[in-house]
Amino acid sequence: MYKILIAPNSFKGSLTADQAANAIEQGLNQSKLKFQSNKFPIGDGGDHTAFLLTNHLKGDFSHHLVFGAYGDLVDARFGLINRGKTAIIEVAETSGFKTIQGTFRQVLHADTKGLGQLIDHVLSLGVSEIILCLGGSATIDGGLGMLTALGVRFLDAEHHVIDVYPGNFSQVVFIDITGLTEKISHCKFAVLCDVDNPLLGERGAAKVFGPQKGATEKEVILLEAFLSRFNELTMDTLGKSLDQVKFGGAAGGLSAALSVYLNADLLEGAEHFCQITDFKQALSNVDLLITGEGSIDEQTLNGKAPYVAAKHALAANIPVIGLTGNVPIVVPAELQRYFSMLLSIGSKPESLSAAIDHTYENLVRTSKQIGNILSVYNNE
């Protein structure tokens, strides 16, 4: 019987990866194809990755009350695997858009303090490893809030402690990390990154992601100046540059702070996801891989989850169908090399918001048609 692995990423703003997998399977079930399927939703460090990892690795979920991006109390979910020795944390749960009530505001005051509180909590549970998924961040504080919650002190010229955030960082003259060192000494940190931007410059955290998080043109300039000053003081304190960290601009510079201050390993999110969930094993004895996400284009080749899944399938001589809301008019040859077929799931001309609303139905319909043509190909 024909065997299909269904392994989509999330369709941002519409469906989580597991919801997308359900829609694809539903459509195939409505077709004439006789098949067996296995659903293996995938992530690359973006929204929902921690949930997927915890489920794939048969872990448990727990909750802890922390501050959100704008200081509102939120009940943040996290996963525990490896008999409670490894915690999986998603930044979106503590400092993400989902923690914001109402419209974007006060980007110069938004911080990652809640993430630090959650890290502190899981450390108190005795974990020896923390896996952090960075997608969905709503802050550009370079990890200041997280570091403060974990014992780092930011001091002015008179060595008075400052309740620091991006908007007042110009007052900081010294950084004291003595409170952090012992707290994290027995824990290993792995960080799943979904973008590879540096901390500073034209491709940096402020200029690329600031407008997405509500920053005005003036605020982008202030955020760039803050991150630059933070980098200088970090160099003075630790002798390490935040701006030299690969993936350092992810989550508003949080990744750079995790690397330099917490000695975290910054990893290509999708590749590490596939490695620790044994995605290659899921591909064994499969006739077809169906993957997808909201857009598949040249940017997908920069380590996005559908590309990584397709790369592993190609190595195993398994054909790949990519389902997406957006396909380039001319598919680049390098992209086509990994996907046997790229299909846009749209059914008619409509606005982006309407198309997003119809993602589930469009995935079901498209998958049914895929199943029907495969049934003909398989002489059913």
* Amino acid letter, residue 185: S
pLDDT tens digit sequence for 83-97: 999 999 999 999 988
Residue 191's H or E segment, with its range, is: strand 188-193
The whole-number pLDDT of residue 348 equals 82
Cα 41 from chain centroid (whole Å):
14
Task: Give the SS3 label for residue 13.
Answer: coil
The whole-number pLDDT of residue 104 equals 64
pLDDT tens digit sequence for 205-219: 999 999 989 899 999
Strand partners, 89: 78, 132
pLDDT tens digit sequence for 223-249: 999 999 999 999 999 999 999 999 999
| CATH domain 49-270 topology | Glycerate kinase, domain 2 (3.90.1510)
**In the numeric block, which tokens belong to residue 349?**
């001309």
pLDDT tens digit sequence for 154-204: 999 999 999 999 999 999 999 999 999 888 989 999 999 988 899 999 999
Has residue 372 got a pLDDT over 70? yes
Q: For the chain, give the percent of residues with pLDDT over 70.
A: 98
Q: For residue 12, what pLDDT band results from cuts at 50, 70 and 90?
A: confident
Cα dihedral across residues 249, 254, 255, 261: positive or negative: positive
Has residue 351 got a pLDDT over 90? no
The whole-number pLDDT of residue 74 equals 95
Angle of helix 17-29 versus helix 359-377 axis, rounded to 10: 40
User: Higher pLDDT residue, 98 or 245?
Assistant: 245
pTM: 0.92
Across residues 349-362, what is the average pLDDT?
Answer: 89
Q: How many C-beta atoms lie closer than 10 Å to residue 320's C-beta?
A: 23
Domain 2-42+280-377 has CATH 3.20.20.10: no
| CA-closest candidate to residue 262, choices 156, 152, 154 | 152
Per-domain residue ranges for the chain? 2-42+280-377, 49-270
Q: By the 8 A CB rule, do 107 and 94 touch?
A: no
Q: For residue 222, what pLDDT band results from cuts at 50, 70 and 90?
A: very high
Task: Please give the Cα distance from 249 to 140 (Å, whole number).
Answer: 9
The whole-number pLDDT of residue 195 equals 85
Q: For residue 305, what pLDDT band results from cuts at 50, 70 and 90?
A: very high
Give the DSSP per-residue string, 147-171: HHHTT-EEE-TT--B----GGGGGG
- Phi, psi of 30, deg, nearest 5: -85, -10
